[in-house]
Chains A and B, each alone.
Chain A
Amino acid sequence: MNRFKNICLILLLTGAAVAHAHAHAFVDHAEPPVGGKVKQMPQEVRIWFTEAIEPVFSGIQVFDAAGKQVDKKDTHLDPSNRSLLQISLPPLEPGTYNVVWHVVSVDTHATKGDFTFQVVR
């Protein structure tokens, strides 16, 4: 039993020691939503990640159904939230758009992915 308590103590101390650690960044949620449909023309794509990210090594691209890049190529972090990455959009025609992202979290872990959203009338 003492051994079990010692193991628990080690785990707790380990947890305390890594309190400042970071991890791989996953998508928490996005606007427009992943796989969602929007009626109002989105002004930008905003992706909230689960970790703070390094903007220099991170980016978003938005493509239309024909594969043409339609974003304004101005990927930037929200000034007040280092886990919110966004990119501006021009007025979009109704259709399906593919959002491709890649990020590096502040502890240098890289992740990437993509999702679609639809603009409908």
Chain B
Amino acid sequence: MKHLPLLFWLICAACELSATGWAYGHGFAGARFFPATLSTDDPFVADEFSLPTISSVVTPDDGGTRDTEISSDIALRITPQWDIEFSERFITLNPSHGKAVNGFDNLSIGSKYEFFENDEHEAVVSVGLDVDVGGTGSKQVGADTFSTWTPGLFFGKGLGDLPQGLSLVRPLAITGLVGVAIPSSASTDGSPNPAALQLGFAVEYSLIYLQEQVRDIGLRAPFDRLIPLVEISLSDPLDRGQTGLITGTVNPGIIWSGKYFQVGAEAVIPINSRTGNDVGFIAQLHFYLDDLFPHTIGRPLFGGR
């Protein structure tokens, strides 16, 4: 492992800080159905389960290292507005020179509270906290020995309240998050661990909404359940000499949402050479526990129907 360059580990640290581990939610606001997004979190509190989420990117150390990850997330509602979330992932790092290593990343534990919903305007806002528990993962794959706390604000807004004259724009929706990843340790082995601003956005065009609320253009299954989208995920270090070393990706893709689950796939396009030079991918199978098990684990522990 000693032969891997310092830049590689810095990138690993940046990725670690940028990966909030929030379980990605699906939900409704009025007539709007929002799918669970793949690369950024959305504001919904839900009962859901992702297995697997598979991603593969090449990190930009000298020669490049392929980072392949298989992860799983589960979110369960305590009350209709409050959930807890757990996330874990298995990482394989395959450097261009040297031996591949693999192991589990740190366990991620989170919680989210939805405090605002406006059905008429298809709007929702929530707050959340994710804790990446240091020392629970494998050092071989760069799992931090310190914890990272990431409080965040999440929002979602559908454009269904636009005038009828803009009907073809009404299927658009945006979700997003603003958070700050705060490491519990200032440095590790002499390398700084900066706090980082986390920004994520997803712009979605729902063919479900188009067919159901705006205009039946004749799409039938399975095409009437598609949601093309573009996600943007950014991490901007805020201190400890790392200010301005922003990393991020732009991820165009598509989600198909069924009765009980959704599948999605996106290209992962780095925004700069600091993030990477090659296009990667992410794909996910995601189950709606509230639809699968509406009378047991798919309902809030307290305050459900």
Contacts and interface: CB of A to CB of B under 8 A. Distances in A.
A23 B212 contact: no
A24 B211 CA distance: 16
A35 B216 contact: yes
B223 interface: no
Nearest to A11: B51
Interface string A21-51: 1111011011001111000000000000011
Contacts of B288: 23
Given A30-B216, A112-B30, A18 B260 contact: yes
Contacts of B211: 27, 34
A34 B31 contact: no
B73 to A, nearest CB: 15
Given A7-B51, A112-B31, A114-B31, A21 B291 contact: yes
A39 to B, nearest CB: 17
Contacts of B28: 24, 111
A108 B216 contact: no
A86 to B, nearest CB: 17
B216 A34 contact: yes
B164 interface: yes
B259 A50 contact: yes
A95 interface: no
Interface residues of A, number: 28
A23 B260 CA distance: 7
Contacts of A35: 167, 214-216
Contacts of B290: 109
B291 A109 contact: yes
B215 A36 contact: yes
A111 B225 CA distance: 16
Nearest to B295: A107
Of the four ranges (under 10, 10 to 19, 20 to 34, 35 or more), the interface on chain B belongs to 20 to 34
Contacts of A115: 212-214
Q: Is the interface of B mostly helix, strand, loop or mixed?
A: mixed
Contact of B294 (A7, A27, A107): A107
A113 interface: yes
Interface in A105-121: 107-109, 111-116
A21 B260 contact: yes
B159 to A, nearest CB: 15
Given A18-B293, A108-B305, A115-B214, A26 B164 contact: no
A5 to B, nearest CB: 14
A50 B221 CA distance: 11
Interface in A62-121: 96, 107-109, 111-116
Contacts of B259: 23-24, 50-51
A23 B291 contact: yes
Contacts of A96: 164
A99 B260 CA distance: 27
B267 interface: no
A44 B260 CA distance: 32
A115 B294 CA distance: 28
Contacts of A14: 287, 292
Interface string B9-39: 0000000000000000000101101000000
A22 B291 contact: yes
Q: Which among B28, B212, B214, B305 has the highest number of chain A CB atoms within 10 Å?
A: B212
B186 to A, nearest CB: 38
14 contacts: A14-B292, A21-B292, A21-B293, A21-B294, A22-B291, A22-B294, A24-B33, A27-B211, A30-B216, A34-B212, A34-B215, A36-B215, A50-B259, A114-B213
Question: Shortest 8 CB-CB distances between A and B: which pairs?
Answer: A35-B215, A113-B31, A23-B291, A23-B259, A34-B216, A27-B212, A107-B294, A33-B216
Given A29-B216, A34-B211, 10 more contacts: A7-B51, A11-B51, A26-B212, A27-B212, A34-B212, A34-B213, A50-B259, A112-B31, A113-B212, A113-B213
